[in-house]
Amino acid sequence: MIVQFGSARIELVLGDITVQRVDVIVNAANAQLAGGGGVDGAIHLAAGPEIMEELQRRYPDGCPTGSAVVTSGGNLHSRYVFHAVGPIWQGGGIKESGLLESAYQICLSLAEKHTCRTLAFPSISTGVYRYPVDLAAEIALRTVAVKLETSDQLDLVRFVLFDQGTFGSYARVLETMLI
């Protein structure tokens, strides 16, 4: 599914983010930047040990929730990996939505700063961190769409969704945004 926003487009694909050929791949990391399972594990496995060494060297204090840090792409097809830290879902009462929005916004700003034109996001926080996927999709897609309306740097934001249920949630939200 592809939708045009301003001069750029949002694409939804079902698949594995580690094989995407884009300028930057976003990782769903933890605040310690310590690696883990899910998309984080898959990215580190595909990228090789270089990006973990870079994380430890450049960001020994980790990264706050709602923010992101940059490394090279290691063995991936991308120039950079942005390691974004989404919130752990705790019922919605601890400003999770603002933190998730901020994680996406910071990645989009970093993409502009590093002159990236194409970027791939996973569904941040909706795995181990248990953020309800319908709510997370709404925040992810609206935050990106707002940015694309005014950005002449970005050409493509691709959401790479790992299972049919997550893809379906994002597709339903994106369809409502066309009306």
Q: Which residues form the interface with ligand APR (CB under 6 A)? A: 16-18, 28-30, 35-42, 86, 122-129, 160, 162-163, 166
Question: Least Å distance between CB 154 and ligand APR?
Answer: 20
**Comparison of 125 and 151: residue with beta carbon closer to ligand APR:** 125
Token pair 């709404």: residue = 138
With respect to ligand APR, which residue has the nearer C-beta, 128 or 177?
128
Catalytic one of 23, 40, 152, 155: 40
Q: Does 134 qualify as catalytic in the annotation?
A: no
**What's the min distance (Å) between Cβ of 50 and ligand APR?**
18
CB closer to ligand APR out of 29 and 174: 29
DSSP 4-73: EETTEEEEEEES-GGG--SSEEEEEE-TT----SHHHHHHHHHH-THHHHHHHHH-TT---TT-EEEEE-
What is the smallest separation between the CB atom of 42 and ligand APR, expressed in angstroms? 4
Residues 130 and 110: their CA atoms lie apart, in Å, by: 26
Taking Cα atoms as reference points, which of 51, 104, 58 lies closest to residue 80? 51
Active site residues: 40
